[in-house]
């Protein structure tokens, strides 16, 4: 197992399927991407595209009947050892989860225990991974709450989750995730449940903590506006596959897949959406919906919703090919876009 010197995570041809007695759902089907040291890679797509299942596969939190069928998830830990997380068992994941790889979720109230104070919950993880006594763990907990800019942190140590606002709870989750200085942070829709002002604060906080700690971030979202704020590279997923992969600046300048074009068109833009007379255009939406992964159409999965589709798109599944300038696209007509 080998990785480039500047790569911390390499997902290679990952397939994560959910098998039942009657059907197999190919939630992730051949996903490949690399994440560089100290950078942020955004994984974007609608609900059901496979982005969250990809992140859960990486950190070993898949629920039954989900399982990794094939592929590699190569991860370089802080000792420079490279291991394949796809072959790691529960015991192996317990050793790295929280310490080497941490994760924050969309809704903190489903992740924080309402029966324990935030100080106890953060301190327990710190004590577990760093083998500190209660006093040292509490001291480190206070430092982390201060690092994520919780006001009056010393007096908030003994607050319960319900005594905090949504933005404060998300800061607590970030403090818990970063308490052991992980090399990789997976952020799964961490700002979706927050209002716009708080979203901006959380994104700014993540950027600053990333610079201070030198960690890499895998950022899962459906919001391309958020991607523009935080990511270096973008992976766009649809129906369990990568349909476009590009540096963030290039992706916003020009899209090489019709699905990415549609996602950007759906993003509100005050200047673009205003008619010359001052009236506002109707917000664009991609026609149709994501097909069920248990019953994908023949050919390109996006073809039934695509205004660029031709007969060949419905006949054969396109492969992920070079679209020039460090870009990849899964579209037969990418050269025309």
Instruction: State residue 279's pLDDT score.
Output: 65
Instruction: State residue 280's pLDDT score.
Output: 64
Give how far the C-alpha of residue 289 lies from the chain's centroid of Cα atoms, to the nearest Å.
21
Give how far the C-alpha of residue 303 lies from the chain's centroid of Cα atoms, to the nearest Å.
25
Indicate the pLDDT class of residue 191, thresholds 50, 70 and 90.
Answer: confident
- Reported as a single tens digit per residue, the pLDDT across 213-262 is 999 999 999 888 889 889 999 999 999 999 999 999 999 999 999 999 99
Instruction: State residue 278's pLDDT score.
Output: 61
Beta-ladder partners of 25: 18
Distance separating alpha carbons of residues 60 and 243, to the nearest angstrom: 24
Distance separating alpha carbons of residues 329 and 7, to the nearest angstrom: 22
Give how far the C-alpha of residue 101 lies from the chain's centroid of Cα atoms, to the nearest Å.
13
What is the pLDDT averaged over residues 153-159? Answer: 93
pTM: 0.92
10's tokens: 């390499």
Contact 251, 260 (CB under 8 A): yes
Q: Give the up-direction half-sphere exposure of residue 319: CA atoms within 13 A in the CB hemisphere.
A: 3
What is the pLDDT averaged over residues 52-67? Answer: 93
Contact 146, 154 (CB under 8 A): no
Indicate the pLDDT class of residue 276, thresholds 50, 70 and 90.
Answer: low
């Amino acid at each position: 197992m080998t990785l480039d010197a500047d790569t911390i995570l390499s997902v290679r041809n990952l397939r994560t399927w959910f098998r039942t007695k009657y059907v197999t759902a190919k939630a992730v089907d051949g996903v490949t991407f690399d994440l560089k040291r100290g950078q942020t890679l955004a994984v974007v797509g609608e609900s059901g595209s496979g982005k969250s299942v990809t992140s859960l596969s990486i950190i070993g939190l898949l629920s039954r009947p989900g399982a990794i069928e094939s592929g590699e998830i190569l991860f370089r830990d802080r000792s420079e050892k490279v291991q394949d997380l796809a072959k790691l068992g529960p015991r192996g994941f317990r050793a790295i989860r929280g310490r080497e790889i941490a994760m924050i979720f969309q809704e903190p109230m489903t992740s924080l225990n309402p029966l324990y104070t935030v100080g106890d919950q953060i301190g327990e993880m710190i004590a577990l991974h760093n083998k500190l006594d209660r006093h040292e763990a509490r001291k480190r907990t206070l430092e982390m709450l201060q690092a994520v800019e919780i006001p009056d942190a010393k007096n908030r140590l003994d607050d319960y989750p319900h005594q905090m606002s949504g933005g404060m709870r998300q800061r607590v989750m970030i403090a818990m995730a970063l308490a052991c200085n992980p090399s990789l942070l997976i952020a799964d829709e961490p700002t979706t449940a927050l209002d716009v002002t708080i979203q901006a604060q959380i994104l700014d906080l993540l950027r600053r903590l990333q610079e201070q700690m030198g960690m890499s971030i895998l950022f899962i979202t459906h919001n391309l506006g958020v991607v523009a704020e935080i990511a270096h590279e973008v992976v766009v997923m649809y129906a369990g596959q990568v349909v476009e992969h590009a540096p963030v600046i290039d992706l916003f300048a020009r899209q090489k897949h019709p699905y990415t074009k549609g996602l950007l068109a759906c993003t509100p833009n005050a200047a673009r959406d205003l008619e010359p007379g001052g009236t506002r255009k109707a917000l664009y939406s991609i026609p149709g919906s994501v097909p069920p992964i248990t019953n994908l159409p023949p050919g390109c999965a996006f073809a039934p919703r695509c205004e660029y589709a031709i007969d060949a798109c419905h006949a054969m599944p396109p492969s992920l090919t070079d679209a020039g300038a460090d870009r990849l696209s899964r579209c037969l007509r990418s050269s025309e876009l």
